Amino acid sequence: MSSVKVMLVVSLFILAVKPNSGLLKVECLPAVGILAQTTVIRCVFKNKDIHILGVYLTKTGQNKPFFSQVGSESSGDPRFSLENLAVGPSLQISDTMFSDEGKYEYRVVTDSGFKEIQLSISVRAKYKDPVTSTWPKNVTDGGPASLYCNATDGYPEGFIHWFDRSGTNWTINSELTKVPKNISGVKSVALSSKLTFKSINLGLAPFRCIVFNSKYVQDGENTLKITSAISDVNKDSSRSNATNIVAGVMVIGSLIVGLLFALLCFKKRNAHHGRRPSAHPILSYETGRADEDDVENGDSSPEKLQ
């Protein structure tokens, strides 16, 4: 029985090697598979009315076919099959694995000759939705802070970008750490992006991080929940955001009230003591600035007043 089949195959090969067999044209597109998903390697005949008699897929450097199909009988890896035979010898791989990566020789036997095609398969893995954290756990507005965005299980190495509430790109201030892993042949790169602020402005929150794969296609994103050290009454992040805004409005409001009050005092004092040297308004400007500035910029040098 099986010797009959071998005979048949051999005779098919002999039949196939016709003088004009060089005219058979097959084109296969490069294939990138996604781990655990179905990958299709599209191949099309450039000639009309071609009938496939058999295909043999062999990993480069090996002798035994990895997958083969003669007529309707297939053997080898059961995850492989032929697809859409009418247009060409396209291959389909279900449950794609990293071990499928590599170069292959693909022999296609038809009623109009045979062709050997070099195939190359690469496999990608999608990054999981990123997890976020902050240092310190409770962030103080105006204080130092590091925001983390970590994504795992993707391959090859991707990118993490940062944006604030208004969509401003903060990526340039971040640092991306990549840790390659290979757990019994399952490859991945753990990404960790750290966005550091010497003095964070919580008015820019919420911050968002976006994970891209190696081809800059978005794989996932997350919005950071920042726990403010001042208004930590509410555990619910959206409500604590609201209280942050309210707190901000209150701080700005009290500053304005204070400023108005100071101005009022000045006017009253001016009214009492008559005209003052013009240095005084500048002095009041100076104290006003010192409140807003960082400690490093707190010294009011003469150049600053110009």
Ligand X SMILES: *[C@@H]1O[C@H](CO)[C@@H](O)[C@H](O)[C@H]1NC(C)=O
Contact footprint for ligand X (CB under 6 A): 131-133, 137-138, 148, 150, 161, 169, 171-172, 182, 184-185, 187, 192, 227, 232
Nearest 5°: phi and psi at 260?
-60, -40
In the complex, least distance from residue 188 CB atom to ligand X, rounded to whole angstroms: 11
Closer CB to ligand X, 104 or 106, in the complex: 104
Tell the smallest beta-carbon distance from residue 71 to ligand X (Å): 35
**Residue 116 or 236: which CB sits closer to ligand X?**
236
Residues 6 or more apart whose Cβ sits within 8 Å of residue 155: 35, 98, 123, 124, 125, 187, 188, 189
Q: What's the token pair of residue 283?
A: 């002095």
Whether residue 189 contacts residue 229, with contact meaning beta carbons closer than 8 Å, is answered with no
Render the burial of 264-295: b for 16+ CB within 10 Å, e for the rest: eeeeeeeeeeeeeeeeeeeeeeeeeeeeeeee
In the complex with ligand X, the residue whose CB is nearer, 106 or 148, is 148
Residue nearest to ligand X (CB): 232
Residue 138: CB minimum distance to ligand X, A: 4
Nearer to ligand X among residue 4 and residue 183 (C-beta): 183
| Alpha-carbon gap, residue 286 to 297, rounded angstroms | 12
**Dihedral of the alpha carbons of 74, 34, 215, 119, in degrees to the nearest 10:** -20
Q: How far is the CB of 148 from ligand X (least distance, A)?
A: 4
Query: Closest distance between ligand X and the C-beta of residue 152, in Å?
Result: 9
φ/ψ of residue 249, rounded to 5: -60, -40
Residue 286 backbone phi and psi in degrees, to 5 = -60, -50
Strand partners, 147: 134, 195
Q: CA separation (Å) from 246 to 55, 89, 111, 163, 230?
A: 70, 65, 78, 23, 12
Name the helix (H) or strand (E) containing 253.
helix 237-273
Distance separating alpha carbons of residues 300 and 293, to the nearest angstrom: 10
Is residue 243 within 8 A of residue 234, CB to CB? The reply is yes
Q: Which is nearer to ligand X, 31 or 210 (CB)?
A: 210
Query: Of 68 and 192, which CB lies nearer to ligand X in the complex structure?
Result: 192
Of 61 and 274, CB closest to ligand X:
61
Considering beta carbons, is residue 11 or 138 the nearer one to ligand X? 138
Query: Half-sphere exposure of 170 toward its Cβ, with a 13 Å CA cutoff?
Result: 25
**Minimum distance from residue 202 beta carbon to ligand X (Å):** 15
